[in-house]
Chain A
Amino acid sequence: MSAGDGPGRIERRFAELKSAGRGGLVTFLTAGDPDPETAEEIVLGLPRAGADLIELGMPFSDPMADGPSIQASSLRALKAGASLVKTLDLVKAFRATDDATPIILMGYYNPIYTYGVEKFLADAIEAGVDGLIIVDLPPEEDEELCRPALDAGLNWIRLATPTTDHARLPKVLTNTSGFVYYVSVLGITGTRSAAEGHIEAAVERLRRHTDLPIAVGFGIKTPDAAAAVAGVADAAVVGSAIVDRIAAGLDENGRAAPGLAAEVLDFVGELAAGVRSGQTG
């Protein structure tokens, strides 16, 4: 639930997807990558391109759980002047154009800790953020940000991984809301791809423990792969493949070449078409 008046955007969006009989597309990109203007152009175009939920990376100098693509995107954004304040500004700009698509901020704890937890939560809610995924805050550190975020009305989305065994799963699901993000491979973002059979079994295992929607990510790079995942889970998350399109659209000076945003949004369109072709049963 967000902001206290009825179901939040995330819950509503997954309910809509369920009635439409399809899995959703969650897109990830780093706020401010490759520069504030281009990032805004892309993010504002995402709903029309077919993104059902939006994950925005909060740039961090030391993204320990990310592979080379997202590391580079974080550094590009920081070099172009990104900060937590500007990430929240981007969310505000988006909310002025779209009040239905959920926005989830994803990143590492230190920038938030530095900003101040209480002030961050207030400003994030005011900007129109719906949920948080903080990679380096496991359940053992719930008092830091998870509990305050839930109390403030934000969703707290936790990562479950192949190492989250039977004994640990209940702990991971406690204090998780909105949806569960299943990381389908052991490893960092954007490197390996998971076998479909493994994903199906893992999603089934999760469903035995939770009624929350399940999104699956890490290593999903093509419309076909997104379709396959959205067929067994409630949503497919695509990150590095989108970020790679941004990197490919830079000129020799590392600046956005003309038409970059349109190219990225075209790719999101292909992913969305893939997801829409793979109907759930």
Chain B
Amino acid sequence: MQQPNTYRAGPDETGHFGIFGGRFVAETLMPLILAVEKAWDEARNDPAFQQEMDSQLKHYVGRPSPLYFARRLTEHFGGAKIYFKRDELNHTGAHKINNTIGQILLARRMGKTRIIAETGAGQHGVATATVCALFDLPCVVYMGTKDIERQAPNVFRMKLLGAEVVPVTSGSRSLKDAMNEALRDWVANVEETFYIIGTVAGPHPYPSMVRDFQSVIGNEVREQMIEAEGRIPDSLVACLGGGSNAMGLFHPFLDDEGVSMYGVEAAGKGLETDEHAASLTGGRPGVLHGNRTYLLQDEDGQINEAHSISAGLDYPGIGPEHSWLKEIGRVEYVSATDDEALQAFQLCSRLEGIIPALEPAHALAFVATIAGDLPKDHIMCMNMCGRGDKDIFTVADALGVKI
């Protein structure tokens, strides 16, 4: 049961956040899902596990990531004080590795000998391939052929790290189809394989497990902001594909009532078109990939293709805890279009010397719409969850530049 005075007690014992979440998987997977849940329950209460996590995060990932005051953007917008949580400075260039380190330690604890993962932008694939190299486990990454085309550098990275990248040609050839294919692999190889899911979605316990691994982001922000400003921030902003970086930033602050939170979805070519990836603002509840959550779907319950210039946001679903936070109104969910993200991408590069990934460029695009109207003593923290090196070809293409 949810305790009345906290937003942080979920999920319940059956893996639900309100009506969202659950374990909607094939019977073949159910025994393993239950085994993962049990192993995770034991691991998170084991100080030795936490100690190993902390050590890997410090020495291998490079945590804590800095909290950076974005002075020039703050002056440019002329309102709120903008801080970036610099998770793009992590090893592998995004927040994804916070989670893959945790899950691979759990996989080892469970005696699993083979790792699979899905990836959209390739950031989670790279983060998974990286920890597989570190711990000497074979790694298979499923990736839609559409994403393989637009994220060629990350495909090459994964291969350098020793992973096998399996192109997925079914459906929309992007993240949701990669996840379907990873689930098919898992069903066929369930005994030796651990599936490292990259976001706060999937069957219980994945949404809360990934959230807990990513909560290092918000926990560090709290400490760092108190050190920098003597208090916690007034607002938090993060982009949402599946929602793991946002969940990691928001969750530690959910019970701090004065903190406003904005999750920014990808509006693609516009919410009024069919080409967007805003499941919370443009979808409705349904069941896919092991959980009930908001989905982009047609009137027959067929899943629609998502669209975003950012491969990492190009997913027709969203983590179930976000669906719940939307329904209870604790977090405000908004969106930014491809064009707005492209503008923010360039603005950030020029003003701060930070080339953001297209994913957090969406978050910054939203910051741009509200920061100027907020008082100068308003402290806003945006998660810079990934760096933009992987996106330069996509952006050059969108801007009509040949490189």
Q: A61-B303, A71-B170, A187-B187 are in contact. Are A140 and B30 (CB under 8 A)?
A: yes
Beta-carbon contact of A163 and B28 below 8 Å? yes
Cα-based distance from A67 to B185 in the complex (angstroms):
10
Beta-carbon contact of A172 and B191 below 8 Å? no
**A188 (CB) vs chain B CBs: closest residue:** B184
Beta-carbon contact of B303 and A62 below 8 Å? yes
B286 in contact (CB, < 8 A): yes
Cα-based distance from A59 to B14 in the complex (angstroms):
29
B24 in contact (CB, < 8 A): yes
**A74 (CB) vs chain B CBs: closest residue:** B302
Q: Which of A59, A65, A110, A162 contacts B288 (CB 8 A)?
A: A110
Report B274 CB to chain A, min CB distance, Å.
Answer: 15
B112 in contact (CB, < 8 A): no
Q: Mark B276-308, 1 if CB is under 8 A from A, else 0.
A: 000000000011111010010101111100000
Report B160 CB to chain A, min CB distance, Å.
Answer: 30
Beta-carbon contact of A165 and B31 below 8 Å? yes
Beta-carbon contact of B22 and A188 below 8 Å? no
Q: Which of B22, B23, B26, B30 has the most CB of A within 10 A?
A: B26
Beta-carbon contact of A64 and B27 below 8 Å? no
Cα-based distance from A7 to B177 in the complex (angstroms):
42
Beta-carbon contact of A110 and B303 below 8 Å? yes
Report A62 CB to chain B, min CB distance, Å.
Answer: 5
Beta-carbon contact of B297 and A141 below 8 Å? no
Q: A138-B30, A140-B14 are in contact. Are A112 and B301 (CB under 8 A)?
A: yes
Q: Which of A59, A111, A136, A187 has the most CB of B within 10 A?
A: A136
Beta-carbon contact of B300 and A114 below 8 Å? yes
Q: Mark B170-196, 1 if CB is under 8 A from A, else 0.
A: 110000110010011001111100000
CB neighbours (8 Å) of A67 from chain B are 184
Report A190 CB to chain B, min CB distance, Å.
Answer: 11
Cα-based distance from A141 to B176 in the complex (angstroms):
23
CB neighbours (8 Å) of A115 from chain B are 300-301
CB neighbours (8 Å) of B287 from chain A are 108-110, 113, 136
A183 in contact (CB, < 8 A): yes
Beta-carbon contact of A111 and B183 below 8 Å? no
Beta-carbon contact of B24 and A109 below 8 Å? yes
Q: Which of B31, B170, B176 contacts A164 (CB 8 A)?
A: B31
Q: A114-B301, A186-B188 are in contact. Are A137 and B28 (CB under 8 A)?
A: no
**B169 (CB) vs chain A CBs: closest residue:** A68
**A115 (CB) vs chain B CBs: closest residue:** B301
Q: Which of B170, B191, B289 has the most CB of A within 10 A?
A: B170
Beta-carbon contact of B27 and A186 below 8 Å? no
B25 in contact (CB, < 8 A): yes
**B181 (CB) vs chain A CBs: closest residue:** A64
B43 in contact (CB, < 8 A): no
A161 in contact (CB, < 8 A): yes
Beta-carbon contact of B26 and A138 below 8 Å? yes
Q: Mark A184-204, 1 if CB is under 8 A from B, else 0.
A: 001110011000000000000
CB neighbours (8 Å) of B292 from chain A are 113
Q: A64-B184, A113-B287 are in contact. Are A137 and B24 (CB under 8 A)?
A: yes
B271 in contact (CB, < 8 A): no
CB neighbours (8 Å) of B187 from chain A are 65, 186-188
Q: Name the interface size band of chain A.
A: 35 or more
Q: Mark B325-352, 1 if CB is under 8 A from A, else 0.
A: 0000000000000000000000000000
Beta-carbon contact of A186 and B30 below 8 Å? no
A93 in contact (CB, < 8 A): no
Q: Mark A74-88, 1 if CB is under 8 A from B, else 0.
A: 010010000111000
Beta-carbon contact of B27 and A160 below 8 Å? yes
**B15 (CB) vs chain A CBs: closest residue:** A140
Q: Which of A138, A163, A168, A183 contacts B23 (CB 8 A)?
A: A138
A158 in contact (CB, < 8 A): yes
Beta-carbon contact of A159 and B188 below 8 Å? no
Beta-carbon contact of A138 and B176 below 8 Å? no
A60 in contact (CB, < 8 A): yes
Q: Mark B95-116, 1 if CB is under 8 A from A, else 0.
A: 0000000000000000000000
A135 in contact (CB, < 8 A): yes
B32 in contact (CB, < 8 A): yes
Beta-carbon contact of A61 and B171 below 8 Å? yes
Report A60 CB to chain B, min CB distance, Å.
Answer: 7
Beta-carbon contact of A164 and B27 below 8 Å? yes
CB neighbours (8 Å) of A85 from chain B are 300
**A165 (CB) vs chain B CBs: closest residue:** B31
Cα-based distance from A39 to B336 in the complex (angstroms):
44
Q: Which of A85, A109, A114, A187 has the most CB of B within 10 A?
A: A114
CB neighbours (8 Å) of A84 from chain B are 300-301
Beta-carbon contact of B27 and A172 below 8 Å? yes
Cα-based distance from A10 to B364 in the complex (angstroms):
59
**B305 (CB) vs chain A CBs: closest residue:** A61
Q: A163-B32, A165-B31 are in contact. Are A111 and B24 (CB under 8 A)?
A: no
Beta-carbon contact of B301 and A110 below 8 Å? yes
**B170 (CB) vs chain A CBs: closest residue:** A71
15 pairs from A and B in contact (CB 8 Å cutoff): A64-B180, A65-B28, A65-B183, A84-B300, A85-B300, A110-B287, A110-B288, A111-B300, A114-B286, A138-B27, A140-B22, A159-B28, A163-B28, A186-B191, A188-B187
Extra contacts, 13 of them, besides A136-B287, A161-B26 (Cβ < 8 A), are A62-B171, A62-B303, A65-B26, A108-B287, A110-B303, A112-B301, A113-B292, A136-B24, A141-B24, A165-B31, A183-B27, A183-B28, A186-B28
